[in-house]
Amino acid sequence: MSAATDGIPVVGNRGKVLVIGGGITGITAAIEASEAGCEVVLAEKAAYLGGRVARMNQYFPKMCPPQCGLEINLRRFKTNPLIRALTLADVEEIRGTPGDYHVTIRQHPRGVTEKCTTCGACVDVCPVERADEFNLGMGTTKAIYLPYEMAYPLRLAIDTEACLGTECGKCVTACPFDAIDLAQKDETVEVDVDAVIVATGWEPYEATQIEGLGFGTHPDIVTNVMMERMASPMGPTDGKIVKPSDGGPVRSVAFVQCAGSRDDNYLKHCSGVCCMGSLKQTRYIREQYPEAEINVFYIDLRAPGRLEDFLQAQQEDEKLHLVKGKVARIDVTDDGLLVQAEDVLSGTRVSRAADLVVLATGIVPSDTHGIRIEGNGGLATDAHGFLTRAQPSAGVLVAGCAARPTDVATCVRDATGAVMNALQFCTE
Amino acid sequence: MAEAMLVRPDRKFVEEIIAAGGGDLKKCMQCANCSVVCELSDGHPFPRKEMIWAQWGLKDRLVSDPDVWMCHQCNDCSKRCPRGARPGDMLAAVRRLTVDHYAVPRFMTRVANRASWLPVAFLLPIVLLGVALLVRDPIGRALGFGTDPAFYASFFPHWLIIGLYGFFSALAFIAAVIGVVRFWRAMRRSDAAAGIYAAVNGIPASIVGAVKDIVTHYRFGFCGAQKPRRLAHLAVFYGFAALFVVTSWAVVDLYVMPLMGVASRYPFDFLYPAKILANVGGAVLVFGAVKVMVDRKRAQGPGAVGGTSFDWIFVWMLLGVAVTGFAVEIFRFTVGPEPAAGLRTAAYATYFVHLVLVFQLLIYLPYSKFAHVLYRTVAMVYAEHTGRHRPVRRLQPQGSQLRLPGVTPATR
């Protein structure tokens, strides 16, 4: 089989690769493997591709929107006949040996078929509201929803847990294209591949677990991932950074670094990117509020390599205060939120008022316990729950944040490396 | 911030802190979580700065630091430390080493606090009291004291107890005064060197403030993770205080009241008010000491306060004094006028043990954990004096510093 897309010769005789996870790592791996001539099956558990990156507003240090790179990648993806992408798909079992794996994938019903044009007639009639999971619970969608504007596949999906089912059926009636099928059931897909690339990515740390920081007790205490959505023009506030409590403007913001991270009581590891992430977010604030006081409370500021320049540029901001001291407590008072810390460099207690508090929560590896590996139970993990690079079965390769917390650029390089490794197990 | 500081680390002192119970101090990464978690850390935050002083072996700073003594070791800081560095335990170790540091003579701290030196700790009063018994009759005759017909006084006369305990208590008192005076001066010197010494309150007012706090255990009440410890400490404190008052009254009753023409009522009847106070105080002390032990033994997890020989020897001593005191009392009220020889021996032996334990408690005071009575009090007075002892305020914005626009000290 041979074809050509974008001038790149595609040769489908280099074997077959399964990529688990459709985030930036998985998308990159799938494209790279296909462009090297492999057939690719990509299994993504959500209803759309893009993962965490799709929810970012901008990348540091260039402050460019992820939608740009994501769009390019998705285009390469869509036009590539060697890639078969499965969404709402959970990999259940991997059997066999390198070069000869048999994989069982459970595909959950989307309820919406290829006929969908995203006209939205169904959304108008749907009676059920659900928390908007893409926007981390900020706002709601209907039970039938479009995950986000650039979602791929560009089709609505039904949250089967929220949906009232055939008893309601209003969407079915409303759809002018007969694209809704509420009778869809779980399906099992079996594929045979030569290698598996695990790019299951990460979840933000559950901030409600952190004692003293009050997440969940006050709407103006948000997490860094929520901040990305708020700053995003496609987010729940159309890109306007406001106090979630009343939608009002923000005069002061406190960033709480290591919220639960580097902490034996919560998440032991350093996620390595939250310092830069918060510094990046201070720019979002500054763009919208030139006069806002910004305090960033940190244990250590981690700005490796060229990122030092980014840090130094931020230090020029006179209303940005970098305070060395971990925040142990946020008091909710009649006068607003008070962030409590010790300023280590001066040895004094500081208590700073903040209209908005952003908790820089860390990166937790996605749960991969559902994936059974013949003879090994599951994927091998390290002390922090990340997948080890060396898996018991040599043809199972790990890339991106599934292996360790890191930034997008590293994930992309990781994906290429994993593909190079996978090719060793691919036979013609 | 700008001037250079020459740090002279005392590595031996670091090892001493580790040996005295601060074994996890090197895990500290200076995040300062502890200084905020602590409900008592306010104007001069602790224990973050103490952790780095400990890591650097800055002994001079630590043994002259009043903040070390503001801590009641609730271990909120240890419980929530991200690294398991256990700042609360480190402060306890520094308190022990502070007592060591100012002790005169220093070898007495070993006698009083080390499990391996316990035989010596017991032998010292046993020998002294034994010698006193041997010379009881000749000295008594020489000084003109007649034989006291009372049950215990016929064995160990009051004049002998008061003479012996008075003499050695005076020595201990002198040692204690030397220690706390040096401690006070060190705190002043240290603050002056750092340019932060300020006499905010007069000494009398500061003493009143500290005593108020101690009597109510006010600041102790803010401790979170180990809240039950406050009740135990209150019981030990008031139990002991009651016994101390009654003992003092007994001396007054025996030797001062007769001078004023009032006949001594010693030994007190069971229903005599001072005796009732003594019995209640003893019971409260036993309850408190046992609760201290049970709380320490039961405590689990990162907030636990285990303690070292420094703590355990002291609390056992307190319990021993109270229990033997009750045993002595039971013998006194149950033996008839002509007790059998065996019963008399048992009673006297118990009394002897009681005297040995009381001797240890009093004479080892400047060296044992008992010394915290002095050092903590002095530190609290100093804290009142210098105004660092600000009342604990929660959820209270403190002046313009907290209001918007919250301009902050530059940290870069």
- Claim to verify: residue B37 and residue B16 sit in the same structural domain: yes
* ipTM at complex level: 0.86
Instruction: Assess contact for B266 and B253: CB atoms under 8 A.
Output: yes
Tell me the pTM.
0.89
Cα separation, B262 vs A103, whole angstroms: 102
Residue in B34, B82, B403 closest to A262 by CB: B82
Q: Give kind and range of the element (H or E) at residue B215.
A: helix B203-216
Does residue B405 lie within any of the structural domains?
no
Please give the torsion angle defined by the CA atoms of residues B40, B42, B48 and B51, in that order, rounded to the nearest 10 degrees: -60
Residue of A nearest to B50 (CA): A347
Does residue B253 lie within any of the structural domains?
yes
Mutation target among B1, B24, B30, B33 for the A interface, most CBs of A within 10 A: B33
* Ordered per-residue pLDDT tens for chain B, 412 residues: 456 777 788 999 999 999 999 999 999 999 999 999 998 887 789 999 999 999 999 999 999 999 999 999 888 899 999 999 999 999 999 999 999 999 999 999 999 998 899 999 999 999 999 999 999 988 888 888 877 778 888 899 988 998 999 999 999 999 999 999 999 999 999 999 888 898 989 999 999 999 999 999 988 888 776 677 889 999 999 999 999 999 999 989 988 888 898 888 888 889 999 999 999 999 999 999 999 999 888 887 777 887 889 999 999 999 999 999 999 999 988 887 788 888 999 999 999 999 999 999 999 999 999 999 999 999 999 999 998 866 554 433 333 333 223 333 333 3
Residue of B nearest to A259 (CA): B82
B197's torsion region: left (phi>0), alpha (psi -120 to 50) or beta?
beta
Query: What domain range includes position B378?
Result: 107-386
Radius of gyration of chain B (CA): 24
**At a CB cut-off of 8 Å and minimum separation 6, what does A394 contact?**
A98, A425
Q: Which of B27, B250, B22 is nearest to B153 (CA)?
A: B250
- Claim to verify: residue B301 and residue B181 sit in the same structural domain: yes
CB of B36 within 8 Å of any CB in chain A?
yes
Residue in A293, A331, A341 closest to B404 by CB: A293
- Claim to verify: residue B161 and residue B63 sit in the same structural domain: no
Mutation target among B24, B30, B31 for the A interface, most CBs of A within 10 A: B31
Task: Give the count of domains, chain B.
Answer: 2
**How many other C-beta atoms can be found within 10 angstroms of the C-beta atom of residue B121?**
23
- Claim to verify: residue B128 and residue B183 sit in the same structural domain: yes
- Claim to verify: residue B200 and residue B263 sit in the same structural domain: yes
Give the DSSP per-residue string, B244-312: HHHHHHHHIIIIITGGGTPPP-PSPPTTSHHHHHHHHHHHHHHHHHHHHHHHHHH--STT-----HHHH
Contact B36 A353 (CB under 8 A): no
Cα separation, A200 vs A390, whole angstroms: 16
- Claim to verify: residue B333 and residue B244 sit in the same structural domain: yes
Residues of chain A positioned with their CB less than 8 A from the CB of B36:
325-329, 340-342, 349
Residues of chain B positioned with their CB less than 8 A from the CB of A347:
44-45, 49
Q: Which of A255, A294, A292, A293 is nearest to A276 (CA)?
A: A255
Q: Which of A8, A12, A31, A30 is nearest to A21 (CA)?
A: A30
Residues of chain A positioned with their CB less than 8 A from the CB of B41:
342, 349
The residue length of chain A stands at: 428
CB of B394 within 8 Å of any CB in chain A?
yes
Mutation target among A252, A324, A350 for the B interface, most CBs of B within 10 A: A350
Does residue B312 lie within any of the structural domains?
yes
Last residue of a domain, one of B78, B103, B128: B103
Cα separation, B25 vs B29, whole angstroms: 9
Residue of B nearest to A268 (CA): B82
- What pairs with residue A39 in β-bridges? A16
- Claim to verify: residue B329 and residue B379 sit in the same structural domain: yes
Residues of chain B positioned with their CB less than 8 A from the CB of A351:
397-398, 401-402
Instruction: Assess contact for A281 and A257: CB atoms under 8 A.
Output: no
CA contacts within 13 A on the Cβ side of B217: 18
CB of B412 within 8 Å of any CB in chain A?
yes
- Claim to verify: residue B278 and residue B154 sit in the same structural domain: yes
Residues of chain A positioned with their CB less than 8 A from the CB of B402:
335, 338, 351-353
Count of A-B CB contacts under 8 Å: 115
Last residue of a domain, one of B49, B84, B103: B103
